[in-house]
Structure formats: structure tokens, C-alpha cells
Amino acid sequence: MLSDGRGFVFAALLALLFIAVPAEAQDSVRDLVVKIHTTRREPDLVRPWTRQNPVNVSGSGIVIDGKRILTNAHMVQNASQIYVQPNQSPEKYLARVIAIAEPVDLALLSIDDESFFEKRAYLEFADDLPRVKDAVSVYGFPTGGTELSVTEGIVSRIEFTGFYQFTHGLRIQVDAALNPGNSGGPVVSRGKLVGIVFSNIPNAQSIGYVIPIEEVRLFLDDITDGTYDGKPQLHDRFQTVENDTLRKRLGLAKGVGGLMVAEPYSSESNYPLKEWDVITAIGGKTIDSDGKVSVRYDLRLSALYLVQKYAKDGMLDVTIERGGAPLQMRIPVARQRQLVVPYLRNRSPRYFIYGPLVFCAATQEYIEKLGSQWELFHTRAGNPLILRRFDKPSFPGEEMVVVCSPMLPHPITKGYDDPNNYVVSEVDGVAIKNLKQMVEVLRDGKNADVTFKFARMTNRNREDMVFNRRAMIAATEDLLKDFGIRYQFSDDLRPVWEVAQKH
């Protein structure tokens, strides 16, 4: 121990060292973190001609190269206005979304006022995934205060798992404290950006999830053409080949692992993968018996992680075993899973109002809005809206047309039950393929009456509905005025319906 005052001098010098160097390094990150203020108006899925009341939310973002700000998609989707507020500043800059990817929860913002970037550089990306137990700092503006918060933690897990909308990706788990408002904030290790916050675990202490830089790079590469197309993926259903009896059935030799195709994504004869095929390698990387690959000495991930690394021009090189014989082949990858009930993906609902009936193209968000109890009831009832929810379209352009709103009140509906949530099967004897085609059928109809039929359900009476055509057109005008509805249709259907008015 130092004595005679030398200990005091040494301690003072040490304190000055820690004040001068680390604080300056930390401030370089602090100046690049921003608070994002968003006013969001979500689509009203039951009244598709309008939007819900505005809601103000706040979160975080980080300045990256190219004078851009990276944040979460859920922070800015359906935003009517976005402001970016620098750390330690009262000024707010108007921002706009230049790219958004809901499936991986990433969005990119720009600011038209170039003065924002005059004294700001950008935070560099880490070159590789962090390692478990690496120390990280999480920056953001969580609830509970107005100033920038910095919390410390470590990387506790890295995995390749499901994100949103049938998309899989890398996810880092950290044990730093994360709260609402941290969303979109940077996670930094050794002075570089390793990822951004995108969620935490409710009712769990100090556990949160981070989107790693590898996923961010894929997003940025994807949007160079101005459009987010999605990640290359295999949408077949797979299972592991650990079971001894199953391995014998497949003819797999000892030590051969892989992923077995339980259900091919396509049943077309020209689709290369067949039921019972086993993918044993992707891009030359061998898959083990529980469907994983060694990425580095300290990290094993699902073999499906290799798809995004080795897919090129929509194709992927794989090795399979079929009937005990190895085969080399190239298989197609898809950027989005085709669904007969698609996701909105930051778009407005498509709708058409005809008399008291409001029709929509069914979406996943619409079903989610109805709730689990409704879903359970309609599953038992055999409603195709639920039974076919995750099916592929049976033919190009197929979509389900649903009565998406309670029947609007009008005397013309006397004696009819409300067909709310029913799927339209026929109009005037014509099978309905999609919303646009249904509008064309109504537009071109010549009969005095118009007849609607709905898909049958097992434990509910399904009524056919017949209306006088002229009365329906008149009722449409009355109801649009009564409810203050500006347009009878969504923008995409205007040219379809108004064709008839031009002739």
C-alpha cells in the first residue's frame, strides 16, 4: 500500500484517466443514438374505409452509414408522422420511412434536413456475430425517464429461430435490462454495432432479444432496389432424423445426419424435393442428426441458417439422400411463403361496399383481430377462413373474400341473419376467386336481382341472400352518406368498378 500522500496522488491520476478516455469513447456512441417519436394510425380491419384513432409511441434508433437511421419496423409501421430527436437536444427532425421489413422487424429512416448529420458520423458494424458471454452495452430511451439510458450485460444465447410471418432468422439473447422504449436501440460491443433491440420477454427480468448485424446486412442488401423482397428460405416442412427406426426406413448409414422432408412446399411434379428426401448438406456444409450445423467452434445453429448464406439467384445447392442413394441438386428458394390469406405488410385493407355488405380480401391481421375464442368457434364450425388460413393458393390469384364488417343497418336486410365473417362462395352463380373478380361480377350483372352464397359451415345455418340490384345501388349511396364513408372501394378497385360508368 502507498503511503505519505503518494496513494492519494496515484488515485487522482487514475480517476482522471478513466474520466478522459472512456467517457469520450462512450459519448461517440451516445451522439448517434436518437429517440423516435411516432404517431401511428393502424388500419381499422372491421371498418376498412377508415383508420383507428392516432396513438403516440416512442422508441430508439441509431445513425448508420449513408445518412440513415436504423430502427424497428414495429416502431414506424402505419405511421402518419415520425420525428427523430438527438440525444441531449430539444430539437425534433421530421423523418420518413425509406424501407420497412415487418418479417424481420427492421426499418430505415431518412431525414430531409441535412444539418442533422453535419456533426455526426455513424456507428460501424461489427464484422461477425458476438460470442456467448461477450459484454454488451444497450443504448435507448426506455420508459421511466426522458434521458438516454445505457445498460450493461452479456450475450447469453445465439440461435436461428422464427421471427414473424413465416420468416426465420438469427436472434441474440442478452441479459441486459430492456424495457418498452428500448426498441430499435443499438447494442454495442467493443465500440461496434452488434445488433439492435427488438423485444423483451414479458414477466422476465433482464432478458431481451437483439437482431444481429448479419440480419441487418441482409435487409440493407435486399432494399438496394428500393423494395424489400424478403429473405431466401425453404418453406418445406422438415423433421430431424434422430429416431433409429426412422433412420432404418430412410436407409441412412451410421453417422449420416440431415433434415427429412416431411411435406414438400409444392406438390408439382417438377418440384425437386419429395417426401422422405433427406437434405444431408447445404452449400457443402454437413448437417448432423438433430438438424444443426457447426458455424464455428462455439456455435451450432439450425441447418436452415445456411439457406440465407448460400442461396444465390433464387437457387440453393444441396446434397440429399433418396432411398439410401446420395444426389446433388439445386433447389428453388422463396422469399415469401404464398398464402391464400396473406399478411397486410404495412398496406391498407382492400375492401368493397355494396349495399349493407362490406367485403374484404381476408388477411392474417383480420383473423388475429377477431381473437382466439372466435377462431376456436369457427374452427369447430368449419369456416374455411380458419381451415385454410395457412394454405397456399389453389390457383394464381386466389384469395378469400369475407364479409369483414357487421351488416350496415338498412331496411333492405329485413329477415336476413348477419353474414359477418362468412366467406363468399358465389355471386349470381359465379364462383368467386378473389375480390377484384367479385367486383367485376357485380359490375357486369344484368339480372334484376343479385344473389350471394357463402361457404358452408358444419354447425351454422348458412343463408343465401337475394337483393334487388337497383335497391342495392341506392342503399349503397344512402349508407355511404349516413356513415360518412368517402369511397365505396379501396384505391385498387376504383378503376375496376368505374369502368362501367365510362360507357
Report, as residue numbers or ranges, the catalytic residues: 74, 183
Listed in order, the ranges of the chain carrying CATH 3.20.190.20 are 351-502
Task: Cite the residue boundaries of each domain of the chain with CATH code 2.40.10.10.
Answer: 30-117, 135-225
CA pair distance 308, 217, nearest whole angstrom: 11
Q: What is the CATH number of domain 351-502?
A: 3.20.190.20
- In the block, residue with C-alpha cell 358444419: 458
What is the SS3 assignment for 208? strand
Domain with CATH 2.30.42.10 in the chain: 237-332
The pLDDT of residue 500 is 58
Cβ 458 vs Cβ 382: under 8 Å: yes
Copy the grid coordinates of residue 20. Answer: 478522459
Instruction: Identify whether the C-beta of residue 223 lies closer than 8 Å to the C-beta of residue 104.
Output: no
Residue 1 pLDDT more than 60? Answer: no
332 vs 303: CA distance, rounded Å: 16
Contact (CB, 8 A) for 211 and 196: yes
Reply yes or no on whether the pLDDT at 25 is more than 80: no
Whether 441 and 401 have beta carbons less than 8 Å apart is answered as: no
pLDDT of residue 10: 43
Which among 208, 170, 204, 212 is positioned nearest to 188, based on CA atoms? 212
CATH architecture designation of domain 30-117: Beta Barrel (2.40)
Q: Which three cell numbers stand for residue 40?
A: 401511428
Which pLDDT does position 17 carry in this prediction?
39
Mean pLDDT confidence for 158-186: 91
158, three cell numbers: 445465439
Q: Does residue 371 surpass a pLDDT of 90?
A: no
**Predicted local confidence at residue 461, as pLDDT:** 65
- Looking at residue 16, its pLDDT comes to 39
How is domain 135-225 classified at the CATH fold level?
Thrombin, subunit H (2.40.10)
Phi, psi at residue 390, to the nearest 5°? -110, 15
**Three-state DSSP state, 28:** helix
pLDDT of 30 > 70? The answer is yes
CA dihedral sign of residues 171, 332, 365, 457: negative
Average pLDDT score, the chain:
90
> Whose CA is closest to 286, among 242, 330, 319?
319
Reported as half-sphere exposure (CB side, CA atoms, 13 A), residue 243 has a value of 7
- The arithmetic mean of pLDDT across residues 425-440, rounded, is 97
Is CATH 3.40.50.300 the right assignment for the domain spanning 237-332?
no
Residues 57-100 pLDDT 10s: 999 999 999 999 999 999 999 999 999 999 988 999 999 999 99
Give the pLDDT confidence of 242-258 residue by residue, as tens digits: 999 999 999 999 999 99
How would you label 19-35 residue by residue, b for 16+ Cβ within 10 Å and e otherwise? Answer: eeeeeeeeeebebbbbb
Place 146 in a pLDDT band, splitting at 50, 70 and 90: confident
**Pairwise CA distance, residues 448 & 431, whole Å:** 19
**Residue percentage of the chain with pLDDT more than 70:** 92
Residue 153 confidence class, pLDDT cut points 50, 70, 90: very high
**Does residue 9 register a pLDDT over 60?**
no
CB 178 within 8 A of CB 138: yes
Confidence (pTM): 0.88
Can you tell me the distance from the alpha carbon of 424 to that of 124, in angstroms, rounded to the nearest whole number?
Answer: 53
